[in-house]
Every structure is written in C-alpha cells, then in structure tokens.
C-alpha cells in the first residue's frame, strides 16, 4: 500500500501569530481520508511569529515530539521543566496520565519554525516524562526515538522508531522493514525519491507490505523516517 501526502494538499490553519500545515486531521481541520498512519497521529509544520506562542494547555496519553527547524522554543511544563530548545534539537514529552505545558518563541526578531509530532501511547496511564537531545548531524539514518532508548535515542512508550535522514545530492540508501511494519517519511527539505516516488519539502509518503525502502536524494535532503507497528 502507498499513501502519498503532498505538501500543498495539507490542512492549513492561520491564526495570525501562527501558521500551521497539518499532514493529518487536527483541531478544526478534519478530513476522514487523513487521520494518521498506524500510531502516528499528528505532524504539524508550525510557523510562530516572534514573541508569540502556545499558552499553557494540557495533554494526556500521547508521545509528543518537537523538532526545531529554525529559531528557538521556550518550554515550561507541570513537571518542573523549564527548557530552551534551539534549532536542530529534538524534544520528547510523554504526556501519560496528564501534563500541562507552554511553548513560546522567545526571540523578538526571528520566526520559529518547528515540527510537532504526536504518536499514540501503546499503554494508557504511563508516568509523564521529558527528554531533550541534540544528535550529531551525520549522513544516513540516525536513530532519534526508540522503545528501548537504543544507541542513545529518546525512549518512547510505543513500538515505534524515528530516524533523521540526511543525504547529499546523488546519495542512495535503503532501510529494511521487519514483517508487518509500516513506514512514513516526511520530507523537511530537499528532493528525495522513495521507492521511485519523487517527493519535495513538506511531502510525505506511507508504505506498508514492503520489505525495502529505497532512498535516492536529488539534492541535499533532510527527512524524518517513522518505522511503525
């Protein structure tokens, strides 16, 4: 099965201080054909004006991943974490039994651009938790999230793996899927062919019932690769 999601077909939310593109149904944007892939429920591509942000709000029973593309996030939560998340860093907040937090762009001269990702918990009622890390920007696939924290990755309460994919122009790579797995790839920048499907920034593709994922970069490329149950 192939699920293609083009950048210009995503849902759009414009609140003035926030412009967001929704890969899957979210908030006031609802499309029954785009409700997520496997346990992956949300990919929001957010642009936040200087000095603006999300006031304190609550979550539960969800793994929330943020990745800053440009700018800085100022994060505060009910677990006592007060953190700054700069460009290039990943944050994983396990909402579990319930957590409140706020996210702001503290800069007065630069917009904040970040991806907000939600993955459903495998089990309800886990203890809330917070993790944040900068990973070395090596070419190829770098493990960012895993169920067991392997290779220094962030630990998630779901049988899901997230990789950062960095490729130079003309570089090729393959990823082997275990039986019964689903993969979803979101292109952050560049141009990437995935199993001969050409994709550009903001595009995504979901694949299941396949064994090998073939990546071929048509230019310097960054993408997120989700290996899902």
Question: In angstroms, rounded to a whole number, what is the distance separating the alpha carbons of residues 209 and 49?
Answer: 41
- Closest C-alpha to 88, from 108, 105, 113: 113
Q: What is the pLDDT of residue 75?
A: 97
Strand partners, 117: 43, 65
Question: What is the tally of structural domains in the chain?
Answer: 1
pLDDT (tens digit per residue) in 92-114: 999 999 999 999 999 999 999 99
The torsion defined by the Cα of 215, 218, 223 and 226, in degrees rounded to 10, comes to: -20
Q: Give the pLDDT mean for 86-96.
A: 97
The dihedral built from the CA positions of residue 9, 169, 226 and 67, taken in this order, carries a sign that is negative
- Domain that includes residue 8, residue range: 2-228
Tens of pLDDT, residues 1-54: 899 999 999 999 999 999 999 999 999 999 999 999 999 999 999 999 999 999
Q: Please give the structure tokens belonging to residue 176.
A: 């082997």
CA pair distance 21, 202, nearest whole angstrom:
9
Determine contact, residues 105/50, Cβ cutoff 8 Å: yes
Where residue 22 sits, what CATH number does that domain have?
2.60.120.10
End-to-end Cα, the chain, rounded Å: 15
Predicted TM-score of the model (pTM): 0.96
Residue-wise pLDDT for 47-76, tens only, equals 999 999 999 999 999 999 999 999 999 999
Question: Average pLDDT over the chain, rounded to whole?
Answer: 97
The DSSP secondary-structure symbol of 203 reads -
Pairing of strands 154-155, 140-146: parallel
pLDDT at 24: 98
CA distances from 177 to 67, 92, 107, 180, 207 (A): 24, 24, 41, 8, 10
Token pair, residue 194, equals: 């995935």
**What is the tens place of the pLDDT at every residue in 200-216?**
999 999 999 899 999 99
């Amino acid at each position: 099965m192939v699920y293609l999601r083009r950048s210009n077909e995503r849902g759009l939310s414009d609140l003035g201080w926030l412009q967001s593109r929704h890969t899957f149904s979210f908030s006031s944007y609802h499309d029954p054909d785009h409700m997520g892939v496997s346990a992956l429920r949300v990919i929001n591509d957010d642009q936040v004006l200087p000095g603006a942000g999300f006031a304190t709000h609550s979550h539960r029973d969800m793994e929330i991943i943020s990745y800053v593309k440009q700018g800085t996030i100022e994060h505060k939560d009910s677990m006592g974490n007060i953190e700054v998340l700069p460009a290039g860093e990943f944050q994983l907040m396990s909402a579990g039994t319930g957590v409140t937090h706020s996210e702001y762009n503290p800069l007065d001269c630069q917009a904040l651009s970040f991806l907000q990702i939600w993955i459903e918990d495998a089990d309800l009622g886990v203890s809330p938790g917070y993790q944040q890390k900068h990973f070395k920007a090596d070419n190829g696939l770098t493990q960012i999230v895993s169920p067991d924290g392997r290779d220094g990755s962030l630990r998630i309460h779901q049988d899901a793996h997230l990789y950062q994919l960095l490729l130079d122009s003309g570089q090729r790579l393959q990823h082997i899927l275990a039986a019964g797995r689903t993969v979803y790839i979101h292109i952050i920048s560049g141009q990437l062919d995935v199993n001969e499907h050409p994709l550009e920034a903001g595009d995504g593709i979901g694949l299941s019932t396949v064994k090998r994922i073939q990546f071929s970069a048509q230019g310097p490329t960054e993408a997120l690769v989700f290996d899902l149950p």
